Structures are given as C-alpha cells and as structure tokens.
C-alpha cells in the first residue's frame, strides 16, 4: 500500500486532514531468548516492518481508532475520560491513556487515528510493542508530553502488565523505543544499561522466516515459563545468593544439578545460564566480524530453546532445518517467544533468492501450508514521516 492511499482512507473515514504521520518499527532478536525476564543480556535490532499511524486532532474528547489490519472491527470510539476495556486491539490505546493518567497526565482533546501494521500480528516480531511505543510517541507529539524513549519503553511494558495481562520482559519495548539506525543493541535487562554496535554482516543477510502459525502470548505458555523460572531461582537461592538466573555461573548450576527434583525446572535454568553465555560470545563475535561463530551460537540457542526451554514447535524446527540445509547458511534459530511466529537465518547474499524458494517449498511439503520468507532490513526507532511524500508502506 502507498501512504497516499492510507491518507485518502483516513480522510474518507473521518473527513479530517491528518496533521501527523508516524512510523514505529518491529524487532528481531538476534540472540538472548527468554532471558530478558531473567535478568539477562539480549541482542535485538529494529526492522523496517512495523506500524504506521495517521493522526488528526478533534474538538471534542472522543478518540476514534481504526486499523486497516482489523478492518472488520471498523472504527472503535471512546471518550478519553471514560472508557472500558474492550478485548480488542484498541485496548492498547486505552492502556496508554490509562498509564499516562496514572502519572497525572490528562489528555485535553480527542483524536482520529488510522493505523496500518506491516508485521502480521502474533508473528513474533513484536507487533504489540510496536503499537504501544507508537501510541506513546503520538501522544508525546500531539499533547507535547515531555517523556524520554526509555520511559516510553517502560510505560509500554506497563500496558502489557497492567492492562493486557501479559507479564512480558522489557526487551521488545526497549529496542523498539530506543533503536538506532543500522545498529544492534546489547541490552542488560537487569539494569537497562545498553550499548549499540554497528550491525554489519558483509556478504551475509538475515532472513526472516514466518511460520504463519499464530501464537497468542497471553494464552500460550509464556507465563508458565516465567513461573518455572521463579521456581528455579528459589531452588538456586538456597545455595547461591543471585538476583536472577542469568547471574548464576554455569559451573555453580551444574554443581547443584541433583538438588532439582524436577528435571524440567533444571533444564529451564540451564537454558537461561547457557543463553546468557551465548549472548556475550555472540556480541564479541560480531565485534570481531566472526560470523561463522555467530551462526554456531544461533544454532546452539535454537537447540536449547527446543530441548531445554521447550518453546519451539514443528513449524519453527522445520524452518530452521530447511535454512540449515541451504549452502552458505551460517546458522538459524527461532526468534521471539516461540510456539509459532518467526525464525531467522544468516545466509550469503548470493544464495538468498534460491534459499527463499527452497525453504518455502520444503516448509509447504512438511507443514502443508505456506510460510513467508524475506530479508530483514535494520531500522532506527520511531520516525515522523512527511505527509506530502508518497511512501511505499
């Protein structure tokens, strides 16, 4: 879709010209999976697929929300000062107002909003975090609210916790809100310290492989894993004083292996401790341009997520195997929460086209429905777009 078409749609819905046009990216996590809520390090980057928003001010206190992705729901309207949760996507808008109200901000007038997401929902590329960060950026611009990108990340996570009911970590919201162009972020989720490193892959590209199997974070086993990790930490804390699983040394974990009556809980801890080490190694390997090592670490991460953390599925394993069977593929793994969604692979740029075809065929043969495969492009954080320019969305 072109941006001029989206603007025409906005005008036809609201008879109101937009005064603001924003884009907020989605994200891919290179490595460091399911450890953000265990005080770990993660290595995500933002991507050029994400969420667009057109905004017009109103003279009353009504917020109108329309999303091209949920066209069947039409325009969802509510009053800024009195609204109820609706069990649909507009809850993210309501959640943002709720969080700002808690901080004492009262929004003075209503808005007409038109959204378009270019990452499919529940595909593991953080469409919800993209939406949350986008909404706060919209309010920041329109209502002149003084609020930093880091604060926006925390408020976006708060929507998930307080309003949507998903106890997610901070990774998605943080990278999406604070991303820098052409960079991967090393984020310490225990204290939010972070640094950026140029994401240069030379002759290699990252493929995003979408299984097109939808997962639902709230109803999936995400919260179950979170509780298993809490349980693991309780056992660990009987022997070692650590604040989180990722602060535990590998040798110390092995030392108390037989104290875990339940092998499942031990394996959850093993994933966290080993994934933490892989993130550090991967960051160093990127600094040294050692992409072969990056690839190996991705493979190990996938094995651990599949066998120890048990968040992969046949669809993701099939994509990873299909990618690894390509010539010049350095490594592959699931990315995001798992149970469906996307996997990534590092592949030589000259092999990309053949690999895409072959992976799609193999996937269709084994799984019986199609997948999507494309090259990831690294993006910065939220951008204000020019309303007079025509963009391909």
Q: Which residues are catalytic?
A: 172
Residue 111 is a binding residue for ligand GLA (CB under 6 A): no
Kindly indicate which of the ranges 26-34, 199-207, 256-264, 321-329 contains the residues binding ligand GLA, using the contact rule CB under 6 A: 26-34
How many residues of this chain bind ligand GLA (CB under 6 A)? 12
Residue 344 is a binding residue for ligand GLA (CB under 6 A): no
Antiparallel, parallel or unpaired: β 183-188 and 41-42: antiparallel
Separation of alpha carbons 311 and 37, rounded Å? 15
Residue closer to ligand GLA (CB basis): 34 or 278: 34
Task: For the CB of residue 169, give the shortest distance to ligand GLA in the complex, in Å.
Answer: 3
Task: For the CB of residue 143, give the shortest distance to ligand GLA in the complex, in Å.
Answer: 27
Helix (H) / strand (E) containing 89: none
What are the contacts of 375-378 at 24+ separation with CB within 8 A?
Answer: 375/205, 375/206, 375/207, 375/208, 376/28, 376/47, 376/205, 376/206, 376/207, 376/208, 376/344, 377/47, 377/48, 378/45, 378/46, 378/47, 378/48, 378/181, 378/182, 378/183, 378/184, 378/199
Separation of alpha carbons 393 and 53, rounded Å? 11
Kindly indicate which of the ranges 29-37, 56-64, 301-309, 362-370 contains the residues binding ligand GLA, using the contact rule CB under 6 A: 29-37
Residue closer to ligand GLA (CB basis): 34 or 49: 34
- Indicate the burial class of 3 (C-beta count within 10 angstroms; 0-12, 13-18, 19 or more): buried
Kindly indicate which of the ranges 32-40, 193-201, 237-245, 343-351 contains the residues binding ligand GLA, using the contact rule CB under 6 A: 32-40
Helices 171-178 and 127-143 pack at an angle, to 10 degrees, of 50
Q: With contact defined as beta carbons under 8 Å apart, do 105 and 20 qualify?
A: no
Task: For the CB of residue 173, give the shortest distance to ligand GLA in the complex, in Å.
Answer: 8
Residue 172 is a binding residue for ligand GLA (CB under 6 A): yes
CB-based contacts of 269, cutoff 8 Å, min separation 6: 229, 232, 233, 235, 236, 245, 248, 253, 260
- The structure tokens listed for 385 are 């777009």
Task: For the CB of residue 126, give the shortest distance to ligand GLA in the complex, in Å.
Answer: 6
- CA-nearest of 121, 149, 146 to 134 is 149
Residue 34 is a binding residue for ligand GLA (CB under 6 A): yes
Kindly indicate which of the ranges 33-41, 81-89, 260-268, 272-280 contains the residues binding ligand GLA, using the contact rule CB under 6 A: 33-41
Q: Which residue is nearest to ligand GLA (CB)?
A: 169
Residue closer to ligand GLA (CB basis): 53 or 129: 129
Q: In the set 21, 37, 78, 204, which binds ligand GLA (CB under 6 A)?
A: 37
Separation of alpha carbons 156 and 172, rounded Å? 9
Site for ligand GLA in 354-393 (CB under 6 A): none
Phi, psi of 290 (to 5 degrees): -95, 80
Q: In the set 155, 168, 184, 344, which binds ligand GLA (CB under 6 A)?
A: 168
- The structure tokens listed for 228 are 């298993």
Q: In the set 23, 26, 28, 36, which binds ligand GLA (CB under 6 A)?
A: 36
Q: With contact defined as beta carbons under 8 Å apart, do 260 and 245 qualify?
A: no
Residue closer to ligand GLA (CB basis): 22 or 35: 35
- The structure tokens listed for 161 are 């916790």
Residue 25 is a binding residue for ligand GLA (CB under 6 A): no
Task: For the CB of residue 36, give the shortest distance to ligand GLA in the complex, in Å.
Answer: 5
Handedness of CA 94, 100, 106, 107 (dihedral sign): negative
Residue closer to ligand GLA (CB basis): 127 or 183: 127
306: β partners? none
Handedness of CA 243, 245, 249, 252 (dihedral sign): positive
Task: For the CB of residue 128, give the shortest distance to ligand GLA in the complex, in Å.
Answer: 8
Q: In the set 7, 20, 21, 33, which binds ligand GLA (CB under 6 A)?
A: 33
Site for ligand GLA in 318-337 (CB under 6 A): 336-337
Residue closer to ligand GLA (CB basis): 158 or 171: 171
Residue closer to ligand GLA (CB basis): 51 or 126: 126
Q: Which residues lie near ligand GLA (CB under 6 A)?
A: 29, 33-34, 36-37, 126, 168-169, 171-172, 336-337
């Amino acid at each position: 879709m072109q941006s001029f078409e989206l603007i025409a749609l906005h005008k036809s819905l609201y008879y109101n010209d937009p005064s603001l046009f924003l884009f907020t990216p989605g994200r891919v996590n290179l490595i460091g999976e399911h450890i953000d809520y265990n005080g770990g390090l993660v290595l995500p980057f933002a991507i050029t697929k994400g969420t667009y928003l057109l905004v017009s001010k109103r003279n009353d206190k009504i917020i109108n929300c329309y999303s091209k992705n949920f066209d069947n729901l039409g325009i969802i309207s509510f009053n800024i000062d009195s609204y109820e949760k609706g069990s649909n996507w507009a809850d993210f808008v309501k959640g943002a107002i709720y969080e700002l109200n808690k901080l004492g901000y009262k929004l003075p007038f209503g808005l007409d909003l038109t959204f378009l997401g270019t990452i499919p929902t529940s595909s593991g590329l953080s469409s919800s975090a993209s939406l949350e960060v986008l909404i706060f950026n919209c309010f920041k611009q329109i209502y002149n609210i003084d609020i930093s990108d880091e604060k926006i990340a925390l408020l976006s996570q708060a929507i998930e916790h307080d309003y949507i009911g998903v106890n997610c970590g901070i990774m998605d919201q943080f990278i999406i809100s604070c991303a820098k162009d052409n960079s991967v972020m090393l984020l310490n989720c225990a204290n939010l310290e972070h640094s950026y490193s140029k994401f240069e892959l030379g002759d290699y590209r990252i493929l995003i492989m979408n299984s097109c199997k939808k997962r639902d974070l709230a109803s999936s086993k995400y919260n179950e894993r979170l509780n298993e990790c809490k349980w693991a930490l309780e056992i660990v804390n009987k022997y070692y004083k650590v604040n989180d699983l990722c602060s535990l040394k590998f040798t110390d974990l092995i030392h108390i292996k037989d104290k875990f009556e339940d092998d499942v809980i031990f394996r959850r801890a093993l994933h966290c401790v080993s994934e933490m080490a892989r993130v550090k190694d991967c960051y160093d390997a990127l600094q040294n341009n050692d992409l072969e090592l990056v690839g190996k670490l991705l493979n190990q991460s996938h094995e651990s997520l599949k066998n120890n953390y048990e968040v992969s599925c046949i669809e993701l394993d099939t994509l990873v195997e299909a990618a690894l069977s390509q010539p010049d593929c350095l490594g592959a793994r699931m990315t995001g929460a798992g149970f469906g969604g996307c996997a990534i692979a590092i592949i030589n740029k000259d092999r990309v086209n053949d690999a895409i075809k072959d992976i799609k065929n193999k996937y269709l043969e084994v799984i019986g429905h199609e997948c999507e495969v494309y090259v990831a492009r690294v993006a910065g954080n939220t951008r204000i777009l020019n309303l007079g320019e025509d963009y391909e969305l």
